[in-house]
C-alpha cells in the first residue's frame, strides 16, 4: 500500500519538474482566459448597443 502512495507522489513531482508541462498549462490557461474575456466583451457591448438603440427611438 505504501508503494502506491509513493508512486502517485513521484508522478506529481515529476509533472511539475518538467518545464514543457508548465508551459502547456500556461498556454491552456491563457487560451481559456482569452475566450472567456471575448465572450464577456461580446455580452457587454451587445447590451450597450441595445441601450443606445432604445435611447434613439425615444427621442
Domain ranges for the chain: 32-59
**pLDDT computed for residue 34 by the predictor:** 98
**pLDDT computed for residue 36 by the predictor:** 98
Report the distance separating Cα 18 and Cα 22, nearest Å.
7
pLDDT in tens, the chain (59 residues): 555 655 566 666 776 778 888 899 999 999 999 999 999 999 988 887 777 766 665 54
**pLDDT computed for residue 22 by the predictor:** 85
Q: Which three cell numbers stand for residue 5?
A: 502512495
**pLDDT computed for residue 51 by the predictor:** 73
Whether the model pTM is above 0.85: no
- Phi-psi bin for 58: left (phi > 0), alpha (psi -120 to 50), beta? alpha
Distance between alpha carbon 23 and the CA centroid of its chain, in Å? 14
DSSP label at residue 40: H
Amino acid at each position: 500500500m505504501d508503494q502506491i502512495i509513493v508512486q502517485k507522489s513521484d508522478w506529481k513531482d515529476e509533472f511539475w519538474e518538467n518545464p514543457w508541462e508548465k508551459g502547456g498549462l500556461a498556454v491552456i490557461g491563457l487560451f481559456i482566459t482569452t475566450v472567456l474575456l471575448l465572450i464577456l466583451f461580446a455580452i457587454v457591448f451587445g447590451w450597450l448597443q441595445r441601450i443606445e438603440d432604445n435611447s434613439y427611438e425615444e427621442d
